[in-house]
Amino acid sequence: MTHWLDWDRYLLLWINHPAGQNAVIDKFVYDLSDSNLVKGGVFLALYWWLWFDRNAVQRRDVVVALFAAITTAILSRGLQVALPFHLRPLHTPGLGVHVPQGVDPSILNTFSSFPSDHSMLFFALSVPLWRRSRWLGVAAMLWTVLVIDLPRVYLGYHFPSDVIAGAVLGVVVMVVLCRLIGRMRLPDRVVGFSKTHPAAFYGVAFLVTFDLGMLFADLRHFILDVVHIAKMLVA
């Protein structure tokens, strides 16, 4: 266990080492990590492409995948809350992390870093793409590693073990959920609804996929605000 922790920290510091030395690089990595367009936007655009590219059978597979992805996103947040709190590298005393220029050292200090919800969701979304086409699945996983996960390690948001665990959990959970949801009648009903009520379906589908691409950040903030207000009213 100690040996693994040493490697985890060594890899983190190796990736993070250039941080804080060049404002242009730091800004580029920060903007890349903060961009919902290059994260969820790319993935959900692929799913919209799959929806319109093939027949009703593939549309059913898309519905199954998105239901599984939504469940995975909820589960990833639930694990962060349920598991013992795990400090992010930025907030770990004595670790020697370089704080990138322009990054608030206190950012995300109330959220546990294990497992990485970004890694878990986007690796999960890569699984159905792999089933559709191996090259597409490989491209999606490489995109997740290089464009989504690596910048978050560079910025000190996650240890490498956070994103590795998220990746493994995302793949496993997605495989299991797709099998379970695939046996239900719900996907067939959704595909049927898309044919009989296209205006309502596409409006709702846009909103769901839009928020899924952002890991339901707006919805989570709204729920947290409601809880906070409720506590104030009760106090």
Q: What is the pLDDT of residues 71-91, one digit of tens each?
A: 999 999 889 888 898 888 988
pLDDT > 90: percent of the chain? 58
pLDDT at 109 over 80: no
pLDDT at 3 over 70: no
Do residues 212 and 62 lie in contact, with contact meaning Cβ atoms separated by under 8 Å?
A: no
Q: What is the pLDDT of residue 106?
A: 77
Q: Each residue of 12-31: pLDDT tens digit?
A: 999 999 998 899 999 999 99
Give the domains, in start order, of the chain with CATH numbers. 2-234 (1.20.144)
Q: What is the pLDDT of residue 176?
A: 96
Structure tokens at 126: 């890569």
Higher pLDDT: 222 or 35? It is 35
Q: Each residue of 130-188: pLDDT tens digit?
A: 988 889 999 999 999 999 999 999 999 999 999 999 999 999 999 999 999 999 999 99
Q: What is the pLDDT of residue 224?
A: 67
CA Rg value for the chain? 19
Q: How far is 112 from 142, CA to CA, in rounded Å? A: 25
Q: What does the mean pLDDT of the chain come to?
A: 88
pLDDT at 113 over 80: yes
Q: What is the pLDDT of residue 111?
A: 81
Q: What is the pLDDT of residue 110?
A: 76
CA atoms within 13 A on the CB side of 194: 18
Among candidates 128, 156, 152, 151, which has minimal Cα distance to 141? 128
Q: What is the pLDDT of residue 123?
A: 96
